[in-house]
Chains A and B, each alone.
Chain A
Amino acid sequence: MSTITRRKPRLIFEDSDTKEDLFKTQTLPLSEDYKDNSKPRTQNVFFTKKEFGLDKMDYICLVVLTALSLFTRLYQIGKRKSVTWDESHFGKFGAYYLNRTFYGDVHPPLAKMLVGLAELIAGHDGRFNFKGDYPSYVNFTFMRAQIALYGAALVPISFVTLKALGISRKMAFLGGIFILFDNAICLMSRFILLDEPLLFFTSTTLLFVTLFYTSNSFTTKWYVYLFSTGLSMGMVLSSKWVGLFCVALVGLATIEDLYLKFGDLKMPKAVYTRHWCVRIAAFIVVPLSFYMFTFKLHFMILNKSGPGDKDMTPAFQAHLKNNNLGVQSYLVAFGSKLSIRSMKIGNGYLHSHSTNYPSGSNRQQITCYGYDDDNGKWIVESSERNPGYNYTANTEDGNPQQPIYVNEGEYVRLRHEKTNQYLGMDIKHQSLVTKSDKEASCMKYEDAPHKDALLWKFEIVDDEGMQKSNRIRTISVTFTLKNKFTGMHLRAPGTTLPPWGFDQMEVCGSKSTGGDDYLWIVEKNTNPLVMSTKIKVKKPGFLKSFIYLNMKMARSNNALIPDRDKYNHLESDPITWPFLIFPMRLLGSWNPGDIKYYEIGNPITWWSSTAASLLFPIHLILLIIVASRSKSQEDHTCLMQYWNRGKFLWFGWALHYFPFFLMGRVTYIHHYLPALYFAYLTLAFEIDFIAGYIELKTKLRTRTILFLVWGFLSILGFMLYMPFTFGYTQNARNLKYRQWLPTWNIYEDYHKM
């Protein structure tokens, strides 16, 4: 009656460590945790011997791989003596940490701090701004070499990762060779860029998460791997936001794991809860804290005013050394010339210019503009004096007037200095973009629809000043502006005006308040009657600056939009990456004599890694079909092995690749490198699986044969494109037979005019 096969099952996977029949003693690993540790299980989820360790042969492999890796990454690394490719950005950013000036960038700080560290060790003092040739006092070779070490570490890490996943030594070695002999990964490791720290932390995350799954729950090793994974996640996330895909990979694996444990009826609730708690601590709390920690460091190191000031709130800027917002007139008095800034990120300064609205009231436009120029200056006038009264001129007897300070709740007029018109609001006209709100406009005093239409009241919402009072103070107070006539608040909803408004931001009026839209701040205040003093504003808390900067980064990231009308020789669409259709020249000048670097992968292995990645889901479905049609245990085991081992690699590839299709920003081929890392490991895994299957059926030594063939091919591919990896000085036309696709621009541009 039993339908379960009782014959001795065969093993499809060769296990490099044990030759014994594992199946006989197999207990599946899902319900072991509650057992006492005296009888540990013998296998882990990857169906290898439980305790993972490397033996002597493995160490020899590691040494060989590491030596070759160091050689390929470091050979002639200082050949080109000028700033190459994005070194101009990232080298410069690193240098900012040395001269401690505040800068703005779309990437989180960790990788750039590591660049800064490398520069520090190389003896750089932050003087050179990474343009043109390296001067003699910059030891760029040493800098590059240090950064290259991150890239070199990928190779041994990939070997250990594959070993931990239970893949045979030969194939794990082959996986290492794929990474070692890929020209693109190698080339990107040879300059001062962020890619290699990113790749390095990606690979450590994968390594630790696989090691985590090989160890027994709640042992010391398990905890070590667990928290190392969390820390690696934090590091990859703090290098570039694409690290989120790494986090997603670990997250998905964890959800699956916890879900399976949930169905484990024998696991006590307490143990299950404990599993949850440690994972939350390690996979959420640790990475997030580390991410914030890097920003804390970032703010601590960069304490001088610099090119990135504008990215931060005025209060933050006022606390940067040498920032000119730090010392100016503190109290706002009548006659003060103000720059008023919207607190909503990306809006900028309250602005007007001598162009009218095309419809509605047809009065002069009010907008928000990103820069503080002459059109963004406003003069505060008292409602009690005539328009245009000069508050700062001397009185008739020649003495300077006393400054009259502006208090909260007092009605004032705001005069646009350049055009001499007043900020006003009219109930009659709806705003031209946000239809639900009313239009704000600039009008002449005589043209106002009502005498109150030009009167505004400051209502303080937030006071960050050292001392509180009801005076309006520069930078310290955040306020709303309420119009007397309409009772509405001035609002900048963050919408862009059509071309008639020069794509500046809309400003309108609305009854309600709440949200950043309504908040304004005086950023600059000039008044000859009020002494310039140090601005007495509290330094914004870390959390506030942290959130503000991150929002700003997100906005700048989304603003990098490609121009679809033009051919661009550098940008490429994600769909072309797996097929290596548009490799990229790292330099513009391509003449004989120039040292030419060409970012092209090893086409042979690159294309086969794509094939392997595309094969995985099909293969998986086939195995599920076989398993669901068969009653034999071995088919199920086979499926489980395939799934448990392959999911980390394939999902790693998919998660690092497919989201790029959803991104509107410009994309470059080196964005594919993290996905490529996973694709190479998937390739090694697939070859191992298929070879294992063939070996079982035919007794052929497939693994050895495939190892030799693929190893040879990847070396061959690397050799072919090696000139461009190490820097080619002769005429590129010499290598024209290595142009395998018509779209490659090895010796001439594809898009000719």
Chain B
Amino acid sequence: MSKAKIELVTGSTVSDISGLRNRLNTKESKTIHSEDESDGSNNAQEKDSLLIQKKKIEKKSITSKTKLNKNDALMFIAITIFSIFVRCYKISHPNQVVFDEVHFGKFAGQYMNRTYFFDLHPPLAKLMFTLAGKLTGYDGIFDFKSIGLNYDENNVHYVGMRMLSAILGALVAPASYILVRASGFGIVAGIFGSLVVCLENGLITQSRLILLDSIMIFFTAYSAMSYMVFRNVTDKPFTFSWWFWLLSTGFHMGCAISSKWIALFLVAFIGIATVYDLWEIIEDKDVSLQDYMNQFFAKALALIALPLAIYIISFIIHFQVLYKIKEPDSGFSKEFNISFEGAESTTTEKYIYYGSTVRVKHTNTNSGYLHSHKHNWQDEKSSKQQQVTIYGYPDGNNLFTITPAYNTTVEGLKHVKNGDIVRLKHKSTGSISGSSASPDSKKQLEAIYTKFRLIHVGLNCALYNSRQKLPKYAFEQTEVVCMRDCRPKMSTWHIEFVENDMEGAKSQIISYPKLTLWGKIMEYNKRMIETNNELIGDHPFASRPQKWPFLARGTAYWGGAGSVIYQLGNPAVWWLSSVSVIVFIVLVGVNHIYYKKTNTNLVEIDDANIFLLVVGYLLHYLPFFLIGRELFLHHYFAALWFSMMVFVCLVAKLVNNVSKNKVMVQLAVYSTLSLLIIHSYFTYFPITYGTQFTKKQCEKMKWRKNWDIDCSHAL
């Protein structure tokens, strides 16, 4: 029933299986039907053939299994050595800050200085760079201020950090070998697979610099590889190798999402693959319900709990390392900021009386404080009265005095309570704005802790932060309006600062509560989401997903004398990989239709492993179309790796189908493809490694018009 199973993944669901089943059933029931009339011998035959057919179909579903052996271990080591050589060749060149090293080098430095910073990526990969830098002598003094700064002149030990990236990038090649082997193909196919990955110029460029992607791809590859190996041992649950590969999948997945959020696509991939495999087991009657549930929980533990734990641990380390803060980060709440050493703490008196001077802050944003100044509204239709705005920084103009609404003289000390009708008198100009707090229960107001809304008594509307910038005559501060029926999020305020100069006022000093570690992690992650969504820019090399699979354009990383680094893949690999994904999908579709009519396959390519890899590719590629933020070519690398694996497996599968002269055909196919890829690798060698090249070489590289390699740098 391999047909039916593959269909399940594509989503044609029940009707499909039942369609197949129906056909079988129809035949069966007809057989039963006609038995009364004839002697039944014919029918028995027919039935037998039917059963055989059914069994055949069932047999096909068992995916080919491979047992990895000693040879594979040797191959693993050999490929690793070769691959490391390819990645690390002249790794110290260029000795300047290249592209995004400016960020990630700087972050490593910040970790060493242990001062807090915000970045939109999770911390694991950056922490790994820090460790690598620490071990190889980087001291955190150099701050990677701008692209092109010279490392040697500044005496920076940068090679260690680049080596980390390069070695992890290199290790993707042996993982690809294992994946191809685990998908049921031979050693030759495996070597071819590792060669394709090894000589992919884009991956090489990316892994020679201090960038997060090579680390993320390393974890992605190992997670996918572990899962593919795991699929070979699914029929032996709870053995050592079963646990090992399952946990390895979860561990690498956790590391991947702790490096970059893009790895969420990997989570989706592993999730779908797991559901698919669980569904396969469900049909297996040998597995009891108890067993099934055990497997289910084991998988949940390894693939949900473990990655989540790793993610959280990476943040715990992050905040343990970064305990100091230099200047408050206005993107975060006050509570967050004062949880670090070195933050200015805001202290205030706790109780609020009539006559107190207060500073009122908007609670749910960081827009700032209720503010007024000696300028009037100027628009034609405005009241021409004094402006009230929200202003980001505490100053004298956002101090207000609370006075009662009806009885301006207060005898003695009186607490301001919830529901009281008050006026807020602007301290420095003496203007008045009237308001009351919401009348639920008579609770005393306290600074910082009491969150309240200010309701205008006459109009029954709440003071509301519209988040709109005012025009120049109001100094582009934030607008405050009074809105009816508004939701509380933008109309909640609290008092941040109180000053009581009355006699007998209880003075108890309080400040914002510090956040717990968990609170810090939550707020940090929330901010990461927001920042990611806000990332809209017009970087000259930003690109949209439709440009990626056929390599419409590269990214210029660096230019020096007689050499450039231009992020462009190995075109042969990119194109062959993208084409093979399309070919596979088309062939599966054609096969499906052909099968419906003839019960045989047109081309024998149905393979659950390749299918999963294609799903992996699509999951790493298609979601980008929904993402509005600025994207770059390097976002495609994880998808590219999956497509390369599809390419290799598809070639191996098609070659396997050849019946005559198998060895010769294999030799011809693999050597032709390898030569093509090697040729293309050497053509783009200079812009990958940033070595010297000539104008002639440069012009030769422009296989497509849009590849804007800067030939003016060439010799």
Q: How many residues of chain B are within 8 Å of chain A by beta carbon?
A: 38
The answer to whether B282 and A625 have CB atoms under 8 Å apart is: yes
Known: A4-B28, A30-B22, A636-B21. A566 touches B487 (CB 8 A): yes
Interface centre among B20, B28, B461 (most CB of A within 10 A): B28
The answer to whether B28 and A633 have CB atoms under 8 Å apart is: yes
A548 on interface, CB distance cutoff 8 Å: no
Task: Report B-chain residues with C-beta under 8 Å of the C-beta of A568.
Answer: 485
The answer to whether A567 and B29 have CB atoms under 8 Å apart is: no
A531 on interface, CB distance cutoff 8 Å: no
Q: Which listed residue (A1, A263, A564, A624) contacts B19, Cβ 8 A?
A: A263
Task: Report B-chain residues with C-beta under 8 Å of the C-beta of A567.
Answer: 485-487
Of residues 1 to 28 in A, which have CB atoms within 8 Å of B's CB atoms? 1-4, 6, 25-28
What is the bound-complex CA distance between A4 and B47, given in angstroms? 10
Taking the closest CB of chain B, its distance from the CB of A80, in whole angstroms, is: 26
Known: A259-B19, A565-B490. A636 touches B484 (CB 8 A): no
Known: A4-B28, A629-B285. A643 touches B15 (CB 8 A): yes
Interface centre among A256, A265, A753 (most CB of B within 10 A): A753
The answer to whether A753 and B483 have CB atoms under 8 Å apart is: no
Taking the closest CB of chain A, its distance from the CB of B17, in whole angstroms, is: 8
B705 on interface, CB distance cutoff 8 Å: no
Known: A256-B15, A753-B460. A566 touches B483 (CB 8 A): yes
Instruction: Determine the residue in chain A with the shortest Cβ distance to B30.
Output: A27
Taking the closest CB of chain A, its distance from the CB of B399, in whole angstroms, is: 27
A460 on interface, CB distance cutoff 8 Å: no
Task: Report B-chain residues with C-beta under 8 Å of the C-beta of A633.
Answer: 25, 28-29
Instruction: Determine the residue in chain A with the shortest Cβ distance to B453.
Output: A753
Scan B28-62; emit 1 where CB is below 8 A from any A CB, else 0: 11101100000000000001100100000000000
What is the bound-complex CA distance between A563 and B25, given in angstroms? 56
A620 on interface, CB distance cutoff 8 Å: yes
Q: Which listed residue (A26, A262, A620, A751) contacts B29, Cβ 8 A?
A: A26
Task: Report B-chain residues with C-beta under 8 Å of the C-beta of A98.
Answer: none
Task: Report B-chain residues with C-beta under 8 Å of the C-beta of A753.
Answer: 438, 455, 460-462, 484-485
The answer to whether A262 and B596 have CB atoms under 8 Å apart is: yes
Scan A516-539; emit 1 where CB is below 8 A from any B CB, else 0: 000000000000000000000000
What is the bound-complex CA distance between A398 and B698, given in angstroms? 78
A640 on interface, CB distance cutoff 8 Å: yes
The answer to whether A1 and B48 have CB atoms under 8 Å apart is: yes
Task: Report B-chain residues with C-beta under 8 Å of the C-beta of A639.
Answer: 14, 18
Task: Report B-chain residues with C-beta under 8 Å of the C-beta of A259.
Answer: 15, 19
Taking the closest CB of chain A, its distance from the CB of B538, in whole angstroms, is: 9
The answer to whether B51 and A1 have CB atoms under 8 Å apart is: yes
The answer to whether A640 and B282 have CB atoms under 8 Å apart is: no
Taking the closest CB of chain A, its distance from the CB of B127, in whole angstroms, is: 38
What is the bound-complex CA distance between A1 and B486, given in angstroms? 74
The answer to whether B33 and A263 have CB atoms under 8 Å apart is: no
A31 on interface, CB distance cutoff 8 Å: yes
Task: Report B-chain residues with C-beta under 8 Å of the C-beta of A260.
Answer: 15, 19, 22
B597 on interface, CB distance cutoff 8 Å: yes
Task: Report B-chain residues with C-beta under 8 Å of the C-beta of A1.
Answer: 48, 51
Of residues 552 to 573 in A, which have CB atoms within 8 Å of B's CB atoms? 564-568
Instruction: Determine the residue in chain B with the shortest Cβ distance to A620.
Output: B14
Q: Which listed residue (B15, B25, B48, B490) contacts A28, Cβ 8 A?
A: B25
The answer to whether A28 and B51 have CB atoms under 8 Å apart is: no
B531 on interface, CB distance cutoff 8 Å: no
Taking the closest CB of chain A, its distance from the CB of B293, in whole angstroms, is: 13
Q: How many residues of chain A are within 8 Å of chain B by beta carbon?
A: 35
B660 on interface, CB distance cutoff 8 Å: no
Taking the closest CB of chain A, its distance from the CB of B485, in whole angstroms, is: 5
The answer to whether B14 and A30 have CB atoms under 8 Å apart is: no
B411 on interface, CB distance cutoff 8 Å: no
A628 on interface, CB distance cutoff 8 Å: yes
Task: Report A-chain residues with C-beta under 8 Å of the C-beta of B593.
Answer: 262
B429 on interface, CB distance cutoff 8 Å: no
B283 on interface, CB distance cutoff 8 Å: yes
Scan A252-264; emit 1 where CB is below 8 A from any B CB, else 0: 0000100110111
Taking the closest CB of chain B, its distance from the CB of A2, in whole angstroms, is: 7
What is the bound-complex CA distance between A265 and B19, given in angstroms? 12
Taking the closest CB of chain A, its distance from the CB of B238, in whole angstroms, is: 21
The answer to whether B47 and A2 have CB atoms under 8 Å apart is: yes
The answer to whether A28 and B487 have CB atoms under 8 Å apart is: no
The answer to whether A629 and B21 have CB atoms under 8 Å apart is: no
B70 on interface, CB distance cutoff 8 Å: no
Task: Report B-chain residues with C-beta under 8 Å of the C-beta of A26.
Answer: 29
Task: Report B-chain residues with C-beta under 8 Å of the C-beta of A565.
Answer: 464, 483, 486-487, 490
The answer to whether B283 and A629 have CB atoms under 8 Å apart is: yes
Instruction: Determine the residue in chain A with the shortest Cβ distance to B462.
Output: A753
The answer to whether A629 and B455 have CB atoms under 8 Å apart is: no
What is the bound-complex CA distance between A27 and B14, given in angstroms? 20
Known: A263-B596, A566-B485, A567-B486. A30 touches B21 (CB 8 A): no
Taking the closest CB of chain B, its distance from the CB of A630, in whole angstroms, is: 9
What is the bound-complex CA distance between A490 and B114, given in angstroms? 58
B23 on interface, CB distance cutoff 8 Å: yes
Scan B455-476; emit 1 where CB is below 8 A from any A CB, else 0: 1000011101000000000000
Of residues 268 to 327 in A, which have CB atoms within 8 Å of B's CB atoms? none
Known: A567-B487, A753-B455. A640 touches B22 (CB 8 A): yes
What is the bound-complex CA distance between A176 and B565, given in angstroms? 73
What is the bound-complex CA distance between A260 and B14, given in angstroms? 12
What is the bound-complex CA distance between A259 and B487, given in angstroms? 50
What is the bound-complex CA distance between A643 and B18, given in angstroms? 10
The answer to whether B23 and A263 have CB atoms under 8 Å apart is: yes
What is the bound-complex CA distance between A123 and B465, given in angstroms? 54
Task: Report A-chain residues with C-beta under 8 Å of the C-beta of B484.
Answer: 566, 753
The answer to whether B23 and A27 have CB atoms under 8 Å apart is: no
The answer to whether B51 and A27 have CB atoms under 8 Å apart is: no
The answer to whether B22 and A27 have CB atoms under 8 Å apart is: no
B26 on interface, CB distance cutoff 8 Å: yes
The answer to whether B22 and A28 have CB atoms under 8 Å apart is: yes
Interface centre among A1, A565, A751 (most CB of B within 10 A): A565
What is the bound-complex CA distance between A260 and B21, given in angstroms? 11
Instruction: Determine the residue in chain B with the shortest Cβ distance to A568.
Output: B485
Task: Report A-chain residues with C-beta under 8 Å of the C-beta of B487.
Answer: 564-567
The answer to whether A28 and B26 have CB atoms under 8 Å apart is: yes
What is the bound-complex CA distance between A4 and B54, given in angstroms? 12
The answer to whether B485 and A751 have CB atoms under 8 Å apart is: yes
Q: Which listed residue (A3, A30, A262) contacts B51, Cβ 8 A?
A: A3
Task: Report A-chain residues with C-beta under 8 Å of the C-beta of B48.
Answer: 1
What is the bound-complex CA distance between A6 and B33, given in angstroms? 12
Task: Report A-chain residues with C-beta under 8 Å of the C-beta of B490.
Answer: 565
Scan A122-161; emit 1 where CB is below 8 A from any B CB, else 0: 0000000000000000000000000000000000000000
Scan A717-753; emit 1 where CB is below 8 A from any B CB, else 0: 0000000000000000000000000000000000101
What is the bound-complex CA distance between A263 and B26, given in angstroms? 12
The answer to whether B486 and A566 have CB atoms under 8 Å apart is: yes
Task: Report A-chain residues with C-beta under 8 Å of the C-beta of B485.
Answer: 566-568, 751, 753
The answer to whether A27 and B455 have CB atoms under 8 Å apart is: no
What is the bound-complex CA distance between A264 and B32, given in angstroms? 20
Taking the closest CB of chain A, its distance from the CB of B465, in whole angstroms, is: 10
Task: Report B-chain residues with C-beta under 8 Å of the C-beta of A256.
Answer: 15
The answer to whether A629 and B462 have CB atoms under 8 Å apart is: no
Task: Report A-chain residues with C-beta under 8 Å of the C-beta of B19.
Answer: 259-260, 263
Of residues 484 to 511 in B, which have CB atoms within 8 Å of A's CB atoms? 484-487, 490
Taking the closest CB of chain A, its distance from the CB of B607, in whole angstroms, is: 21
Instruction: Determine the residue in chain B with the shortest Cβ distance to A23.
Output: B29
Taking the closest CB of chain A, its distance from the CB of B220, in whole angstroms, is: 30
Would you list the 5 A-B pairs with minimal beta carbon distance, nearest first?
Answer: A263-B596, A628-B283, A567-B485, A566-B485, A256-B15
Chosen A-B contacts, 8 in total, with CB atoms closer than 8 Å, are A4-B28, A256-B15, A259-B19, A263-B20, A565-B487, A566-B484, A629-B285, A753-B485
| Contacts beyond the supplied A3-B51, A568-B485, A628-B283: 16 A-B pairs with Cβ under 8 Å | A1-B51, A30-B26, A260-B15, A260-B22, A262-B597, A263-B19, A264-B23, A565-B490, A566-B483, A566-B487, A625-B282, A633-B25, A643-B18, A753-B438, A753-B460, A753-B485
